[in-house]
Structure 1
């Protein structure tokens, strides 16, 4: 449950006897500042405790606006600068702010100082700005160290991911090259399904399975040879000798690729029918064998293309809680929000939906040179999130992530307040 909306004391003041008898300039000034705070209090992006803190500055800011007319027109005005600094700091919290958070404690200290000491001297705001900037810089320095650690880890993982991608492409190319040979349907399905998956798996594992990968290619070539027409008895004799070893290696490959048992049975039965044409006595040389169309069973690699799936991996390393988010994405699938992701730059903030339905706010801190990884961190958390651009685009499209409007709250509010017609401002 949120805190009650802070009271706009300036509205109460304007309705009092003293407020109704203000001069024209002072009345307009109070009305604009009152509307400014109305907009701040109504802004759903500002956490309630921050609204309460900023709300305590209503009277000091009216005094500032009356003493110095550049308050509204100059973004460099020290009082306005203070609110912008608060707004920038607010981005790290999102909608959940702990009263024991060191930055919240510092802001409360600064507000108390202004309420206690401000009379007419604007240098007090300059001193508060310096104090807050130094405090934020110290927090940012801590985050920077964590971000460097996270960036190194993200880069290592991206390089490994690129290596696996290259390995998968090489495996696909090897299968595609062999599929260019005219083959019976059962062999085409075997190579394009189970054997493609096997080669990808072995290629991804790298040097540890290099021998197995080469053997799987040899097995594929031997399979292709085994179903070609056998024109003389010598070739048939070689086929008979080769079949036990070939079938044994095919069985091993099916197991390694975790082929569905029903698929495995259909494939082996289909191959038996093909090979029988050349082994049995009286087979006509060069006669095309009957082709049995293989229908993939449940769990086959040739099933319908699955929906894109966000995959999350949690890693703890060097005191860092690292979350790696990627996407199992069907080829050539367009995602609506990819353009928004491409426009993100370092320093932008994004909120990620958590399992409990809340949103955690994080800042884009690093983008890999290949733009294959976006690294998000938060100054107040040991967590880091590494996410592939397509995964982030899908989360944005699904409402599982959202880009935060980083415009300073005071800048947003003062622009709206000054854009209101004067009679509307006065009416409140």
Structure 2
């Protein structure tokens, strides 16, 4: 019965649907035990059915929150991949106009491409190849064959660039400075001389790359970073770390599994008890949900691992009633 009521607030009244059914079941068991040859099997089956119904209900109600976290992590992954691509792309050009264009516009193009098919997708590769050709197009062309190839390339190159900018609704006004600078650079390349003197004086745009994640000092645990995800009235407390890495403590046989009920702490110290309804196959993020919360909690696996190691969290669905009673009795004896 404790398993059936797990996760309910301590002040939950008897009129709660779960408490009501457990109360009636307890009355039925008591009545059966008063009989000489009372059989408890039907009551145990009813209890198992109640547990299964509650778990299935919570799992179903958690799905919108799962999708919210999944969408968030896919977006964040695409943003990170585009930012990393930009870092490498900036190393391959010194032209201020192109560097600014990559940071201001093409990084967004790469992020959108990653969302469509990932880094192995056709669109990502085509967008990356476009910049390779753009860089080549502004380099000096001392031979007639190179100039002929450039003349043939420019129309299709500009078309591909404009197509991707159109997809992101980047205005003509926003892209015009780059288009004009690009024309000047390619004209200079045709004349076998680097640089475009008419490009307006402007500091090279250095991409706002994320600072390299540094490891905390030995023995220091980095504080979880929390944010609120919201969509259509659904809220998720997303608690992760700035850079999630595979923990040395984690093994292939994880300490938890979907369906476990876990008692854990939020960053502000509030204790909650929720059911693990999903774990990301990519990031390992664990989504916990309880119908009584009105929201869900997404925890970085390293955060949950740390709490389990420190005994601030525990898997309560794996705790037997005997162990719970023994622990309480031991605690009372210790206080005497």
TM-score by shorter chain over 0.5: yes
Q: State the alpha-carbon separation in 1 of the partners of residues 263 and 327 from structure 2.
A: 25
Equivalent residue of 2:112, what SS?
A: helix
Equivalent residue of 1:364, what SS?
A: strand
Q: Determine if contact 1:363/1:376 at 8 Å carries over to the other structure.
A: yes
- Structure 1 residue 256 and structure 2 residue 167: aligned? yes
Root mean square deviation of aligned Cα: 6.4
- Structure 1 residue 136 and structure 2 residue 47: aligned? yes
Q: State the alpha-carbon separation in 1 of the partners of residues 225 and 335 from structure 2.
A: 54
Q: CA deviation at 1:202?
A: 2.3
Q: State the alpha-carbon separation in 1 of the partners of residues 47 and 69 from structure 2.
A: 31
Which runs of no fewer than 5 residues in structure 2 stay unpaired? 214-223
Q: Determine if contact 2:279/2:287 at 8 Å carries over to the other structure.
A: yes
1:102 counterpart (7, 13, 17):
17
| 2:274 aligned residue | 362
Q: CA deviation at 1:100?
A: 1.6
Q: CA deviation at 1:416?
A: 4.3
> For this pair of structures, how many residues does the alignment match?
313
Q: State the alpha-carbon separation in 2 of the partners of residues 157 and 422 from structure 1.
A: 46
Q: State the alpha-carbon separation in 2 of the partners of residues 176 and 274 from structure 1.
A: 22
Q: State the alpha-carbon separation in 2 of the partners of residues 160 and 134 from structure 1.
A: 39
Deviations 1:183-242 (A, max 9, x none): 5354345446632431331242249xx776565345323311211112257755765675
Deviations 1:12-32 (A, max 9, x none): xxxxxxxxxxxxxxxxxxxxx
Q: State the alpha-carbon separation in 1 of the partners of residues 282 and 128 from structure 2.
A: 31
Q: Determine if contact 1:186/1:293 at 8 Å carries over to the other structure.
A: no
Where do residues 17-416 of structure 1 align in structure 2 (5 Å cutoff)? 85=1, 87-109=2-24, 133-143=44-54, 145-146=56-57, 181=92, 183-188=94-99, 190-191=101-102, 194-206=105-117, 216-232=127-143, 235=146, 239=150, 243=154, 246-247=157-158, 249-257=160-168, 264=175, 267-268=178-179, 271=182, 274-275=185-186, 277-278=188-189, 285=192, 293-295=203-205, 302=209, 310=227, 312=229, 332-333=243-244, 343-350=255-262, 361-364=273-276, 367=279, 372=284, 374=286, 376=288, 387=298, 389=300, 407=319, 411-412=323-324, 415-416=327-328
Q: State the alpha-carbon separation in 2 of the partners of residues 413 and 327 from structure 1.
A: 32
Q: Determine if contact 1:147/1:377 at 8 Å carries over to the other structure.
A: yes
Q: Determine if contact 2:265/2:271 at 8 Å carries over to the other structure.
A: yes
Q: State the alpha-carbon separation in 2 of the partners of residues 127 and 235 from structure 1.
A: 95
Q: Determine if contact 1:349/1:364 at 8 Å carries over to the other structure.
A: yes
Equivalent residue of 2:3, what SS?
A: helix
Q: State the alpha-carbon separation in 2 of the partners of residues 161 and 411 from structure 1.
A: 39
Q: State the alpha-carbon separation in 2 of the partners of residues 388 and 333 from structure 1.
A: 11
Distance 1:423 1:301, change over 3 A: closer
Q: State the alpha-carbon separation in 2 of the partners of residues 162 and 223 from structure 1.
A: 31
Q: CA deviation at 1:104?
A: 1.7
Q: State the alpha-carbon separation in 2 of the partners of residues 246 and 254 from structure 1.
A: 12
Q: CA deviation at 1:252?
A: 4.3
Which runs of no fewer than 5 residues in structure 1 stay unpaired? 1-84, 317-321
